[in-house]
Structure 1
Amino acid sequence: MSRLFGTDGVRGLANGDITAELALQLSVAAAHVLGRSAREQGRRPKAVVGRDPRASGEFLSAAVVAGLASAGVDVHNVGVLPTPAVAFLTGDMDAHFGVMLSASHNAMPDNGIKFFAAGGHKLADAVEDEIAAHIGEEWLRPIGAEVGRVHENRAGQARYVAHLLEVLPHSLDGLTVVIDAAHGAASEVSPEVFRLAGAEVFEIGASPDGLNINDGYGSTHLGRLQAAVRERRADLGIAHDGDADRCLAVDATGTVVDGDQIMAILALALRDRGRLADDTLVATVMSNLGLLQAMRREGISVRQTGVGDRYVLEAMRAGHYSLGGEQSGHVILLDHGTTGDGVLTGLMLAARVAETGRSLEDLASVMTRMPQVLKNVKGVDKSRVESDEEVQAAVSREESSLGDTGRILLRKSGTEPVVRVMVEAETEERAEAVCDRLVDVVRERLSL
């Protein structure tokens, strides 16, 4: 039987996979598991609930709030806010857990439910599985004064904005910034905090109507932001996804600055302030070779993890590192937050531009992105990719040919019969050729 929880909560088609009934049952189960420590101390559990602006979030959040309150949990409903804001408020309000309803960068018909433990931390797999195991079980319902109370708490945005301004190392006075909020959860808070930090702000993708989230705007659709930055002659543009846990950027020329480049810029900024713990950056194995080369030149170590921000976060917490993230724009600044925060990342990036007086284009030039080709080989026995001698021999031959000028990564998908072949080389043509040869070997050797 497959797990109910995926890599980032429970996600699927709203009112299809993710129903009001599931949201109610899941919240009751979470109340029993995540509220246990409070009840053992004779306290009433407290939870923070937020959502992105999808239309389905209206009825799904109502179901979650109802389930929690019926299970004796006091609920602070903070409304539409970014995922990292809900994580922050869970800790800031001393709640026992938090709930966020969002499908992140997915299209509007999807939605999802994710939980945060006390302090705003992501749940361990074992805790998620325990919640899933409690769904549908018989339970003793509180009555009378023992039922949970629901508080419509709209002060959460102000608390989150104050937190962001407090940790900002430099004002944004003199900068012109375009914000693309993907018609998502940061549509109000991101432009607000950039203005309060001193920037002149122009907004696009900041008029959510419940239906237009991620529709042609945001970090997965950068064309409009590139055009707006050039039209406004802005210093930079910042793009979020639907729940604003990621950030990509655009420099004044309209060139995209991806998560790897953002991490390189922030790593140097933190090192220069003496805030880069152990002079180490945590990144996934999918980060560009150019990032690894740039950090090596700068004397910064790179700790690599499996793909997924949860693995980055696990490594950061275990090693007490301060900066990590993914090429996709999930950047974690662990001194200031417990999860990826696209608004915080954008602020820190803009602050570095203001602090140094250098353009974002110049700052991003610290690393040179190597051409990268990624292809999926479907219908193969992914379990044999690491053990097949001919596949591994082909990889070794290509790696020897590339030497220090390239990199190869073969990895199996965690959810489907697919092997992902990634090749980096000094030219797009060479990366494509190497990737095609390896795809042929994988398909020949591992076909089902």
Structure 2
Amino acid sequence: MTRRYFGTDGIRGTVGQAPITADFMLKLGWATGRVLNRERGRARVLIGKDTRISGYMFESALEAGLSAAGVDVSLLGPMPTPGIAYLTRTFRADAGIVISASHNPFADNGIKFFSSEGTKLADGIEEQIEAELEKPLTTVAASQLGKVARIDDAAGRYIEFCKSTLADRLSLHGLKIVLDCAHGATYHIAPNVFRELGADVSVIGASPDGLNINHEVGTTHPAALRAAVIQQGAQLGIAFDGDGDRVLLVDAEGREIDGDDILYLIATDRHAQGNLNGGVVGTLMSNFGLAMAMEQLDIPFERAKVGDRYVVERMAANGWYLGGESSGHIVCGHVQSTGDGIVSALQVVAIMMREGKPLSKLLAGLEKVPQVLVNVRLPTGTHAKTVMASEPLQQAVIALETELGEQGRVLLRASGTEPLIRVMVEGRAHLDVEALAQTLARKVQALLD
């Protein structure tokens, strides 16, 4: 067994293809329960999921495996990933399990673990679980089987937590917002949060049927939100992904506000108030303009590898409280232990209300450089690392980096959730980064043909 089961974004795979099967989930629940009981005595685990149809099957399989190992289980039902992290801490559970494939199509599903503190499991625990998976499954005595119960007020508890992250008495009265819930886990949470805070809210992408999660809505398809914001004359649009840990915004003119913009807004506001408490962690994909803006304000800025796990690791190592990715996964460490789309959006909305300014004016100090990302899909069985390590491709990258000099950047990386190689080129406005990225992507494709 390899560590791929505990990757940057948790298990990812397609239903019916190894290793993501009900049998595997049953065994994984059992192995996890065995380790937790050994570490903590009789353990308790929370399970939550997004809205994709396979979540019912995987939830039942995990529940059965945990019970067979003698672990008590509390079911949360559909719940955003950050909500599960929060409730794991709140209920003092020994672990939280999320069944979700985030922004992926409905046919994909996966799993992510949280520790009792709402952070990733320790490497030692993961390694022990991997070892247990190699052993034959045995069931504890009937009298020691784990019990299963449902937490009926889970949604209400998380809604109140989200509201509590704003300053006392801050009202969103007079703010017209369109929410896009991606037919995902925020569908019954986000509208209540913003309405209870006083906003005038309309909603799209809030009718999950198990098959439509992320389909032409959410952070990966912002066109639907842009159209709704403009049509309704809203001041702001907020899009979440399928499990609610990512967020993207749309301003009143329909311009997309990505994770780099959101990091800039939160960082500059907290810096001005004297409570940033350190610097900001971005990733290798963060726009060059964000790094320059932080430098001009004397705010330390560091790039981590792509993935929320690496962002959080660098935040912890530096003792910083703010980090995130251009994809919209923002970690506001002063209020939440993991990326939280609703909480991050509220941080921005609070700045808008307090300053009385639209997003366009609040972002005036950030000058981003053109950045183009091209995805090259890999054939089944092809390993991204092998392709990226090929001599012709390495020579092409070196040649392009030489051409760009100090005016831009090149990045090739494997997707952590899909069979893709991501080709990124960014540079100053006078450079044709679109053409440069497409040329490099064609060289990647040529290696696959």
Q: TM-score, normalised by structure 1?
A: 0.89
Alignment of 1:225-236 (within 5 A): 225-236=225-236
Alignment of 1:98-247 (within 5 A): 98-138=96-136, 141-169=139-167, 170-247=170-247
Question: After superposition, what is the alpha-carbon deviation per residue over 1:309-349, rounded to whole angstroms, capped at 9, x for unaligned?
Answer: 11101101111111100000000011211211111111111
2:29 paired with 1:4: no
> What amino acid is aligned across from residue 413 of structure 1 in structure 2?
A
The residue that corresponds to 2:293 in the other structure is: 294
The residue that corresponds to 2:264 in the other structure is: 264
Determine the C-alpha separation between the residues in 2 that align with 1:235 and 1:273: 25
Determine the C-alpha separation between the residues in 1 that align with 2:243 and 2:40: 29
2:35 paired with 1:37: no
C-alpha deviation, 1:239, in angstroms: 0.2
Alignment of 1:294-313 (within 5 A): 294-313=293-312
Determine the C-alpha separation between the residues in 2 that align with 1:308 and 1:66: 31
> What amino acid is aligned across from residue 11 of structure 2 in structure 1?
V
Question: After superposition, what is the alpha-carbon deviation per residue over 1:361-391, rounded to whole angstroms, capped at 9, x for unaligned?
Answer: 2223331221112346788753367996x55
C-alpha deviation, 1:356, in angstroms: 0.8
SS across alignment from 1:35? helix
The residue that corresponds to 2:53 in the other structure is: 55
C-alpha deviation, 1:418, in angstroms: 8.0
Closer/same/farther in 2, CA of residues 56 and 432 from structure 1, 3 Å limit: closer
> What amino acid is aligned across from residue 144 of structure 2 in structure 1?
E
State whether residues 381 and 417 of structure 1, in contact with CA within 8 Å, keep that contact through their aligned partners in structure 2: no
Deviates further, 418-427 or 172-181: 418-427
2:436 paired with 1:423: no
Share of identical aligned residues, percent?
Answer: 41
C-alpha deviation, 1:261, in angstroms: 0.4
> What amino acid is aligned across from residue 336 of structure 2 in structure 1?
G
> What amino acid is aligned across from residue 203 of structure 1 in structure 2?
V
Determine the C-alpha separation between the residues in 1 that align with 2:350 and 2:204: 21
Determine the C-alpha separation between the residues in 2 that align with 1:342 and 1:125: 26
The residue that corresponds to 2:403 in the other structure is: 398
State whether residues 415 and 422 of structure 2, in contact with CA within 8 Å, keep that contact through their aligned partners in structure 1: no
State whether residues 218 and 240 of structure 2, in contact with CA within 8 Å, keep that contact through their aligned partners in structure 1: yes
C-alpha deviation, 1:439, in angstroms: 6.4
Closer/same/farther in 2, CA of residues 63 and 234 from structure 1, 3 Å limit: same
C-alpha deviation, 1:435, in angstroms: 4.2
Alignment of 1:62-77 (within 5 A): 62-77=60-75
Deviates further, 14-23 or 352-361: 14-23
C-alpha deviation, 1:242, in angstroms: 0.5
The residue that corresponds to 2:368 in the other structure is: 369
Determine the C-alpha separation between the residues in 1 that align with 2:401 and 2:221: 37
Deviates further, 202-211 or 266-275: 266-275
> What amino acid is aligned across from residue 117 of structure 2 in structure 1?
G
C-alpha deviation, 1:414, in angstroms: 6.9
State whether residues 50 and 78 of structure 1, in contact with CA within 8 Å, keep that contact through their aligned partners in structure 2: yes
Question: After superposition, what is the alpha-carbon deviation per residue over 1:148-192, rounded to whole angstroms, capped at 9, x for unaligned?
Answer: 111111211122112111121343222111110001000010010
C-alpha deviation, 1:294, in angstroms: 1.6
Two-structure CA RMSD over aligned residues (Å)? 2.7
State whether residues 69 and 75 of structure 1, in contact with CA within 8 Å, keep that contact through their aligned partners in structure 2: yes
Closer/same/farther in 2, CA of residues 223 and 381 from structure 1, 3 Å limit: closer
Closer/same/farther in 2, CA of residues 414 and 360 from structure 1, 3 Å limit: closer
Determine the C-alpha separation between the residues in 1 that align with 2:207 and 2:303: 38
Closer/same/farther in 2, CA of residues 385 and 125 from structure 1, 3 Å limit: farther
Matched positions, count: 437
Determine the C-alpha separation between the residues in 1 that align with 2:420 and 2:254: 34
Determine the C-alpha separation between the residues in 2 that align with 1:176 and 1:282: 31
Determine the C-alpha separation between the residues in 1 that align with 2:443 and 2:227: 42
Closer/same/farther in 2, CA of residues 241 and 298 from structure 1, 3 Å limit: same
The residue that corresponds to 1:329 in the other structure is: 328
C-alpha deviation, 1:109, in angstroms: 1.2
State whether residues 383 and 412 of structure 1, in contact with CA within 8 Å, keep that contact through their aligned partners in structure 2: no
Determine the C-alpha separation between the residues in 2 that align with 1:312 and 1:367: 21
The residue that corresponds to 2:26 in the other structure is: 24
Question: After superposition, what is the alpha-carbon deviation per residue over 1:413-433, rounded to whole angstroms, capped at 9, x for unaligned?
Answer: 377998754322233752235
Closer/same/farther in 2, CA of residues 138 and 345 from structure 1, 3 Å limit: same
SS across alignment from 2:303? strand
C-alpha deviation, 1:272, in angstroms: 2.6
SS across alignment from 2:77? strand
State whether residues 259 and 331 of structure 1, in contact with CA within 8 Å, keep that contact through their aligned partners in structure 2: yes
State whether residues 410 and 425 of structure 2, in contact with CA within 8 Å, keep that contact through their aligned partners in structure 1: yes
State whether residues 281 and 322 of structure 2, in contact with CA within 8 Å, keep that contact through their aligned partners in structure 1: yes
C-alpha deviation, 1:126, in angstroms: 4.9
Closer/same/farther in 2, CA of residues 229 and 439 from structure 1, 3 Å limit: closer
Question: After superposition, what is the alpha-carbon deviation per residue over 1:226-252, rounded to whole angstroms, capped at 9, x for unaligned?
Answer: 111112211101000110010000000
Closer/same/farther in 2, CA of residues 384 and 142 from structure 1, 3 Å limit: same
SS across alignment from 1:119? coil
C-alpha deviation, 1:295, in angstroms: 1.6
State whether residues 71 and 141 of structure 1, in contact with CA within 8 Å, keep that contact through their aligned partners in structure 2: yes
State whether residues 38 and 45 of structure 1, in contact with CA within 8 Å, keep that contact through their aligned partners in structure 2: yes
SS across alignment from 1:34? helix
C-alpha deviation, 1:96, in angstroms: 0.4
State whether residues 262 and 364 of structure 1, in contact with CA within 8 Å, keep that contact through their aligned partners in structure 2: no
Q: TM-score, normalised by structure 2?
A: 0.89
C-alpha deviation, 1:437, in angstroms: 6.7
Unaligned runs of 5+ in 1: none
Closer/same/farther in 2, CA of residues 301 and 258 from structure 1, 3 Å limit: same
The residue that corresponds to 2:381 in the other structure is: none
Determine the C-alpha separation between the residues in 1 that align with 2:419 and 2:175: 48
Closer/same/farther in 2, CA of residues 424 and 387 from structure 1, 3 Å limit: closer
2:384 paired with 1:383: no
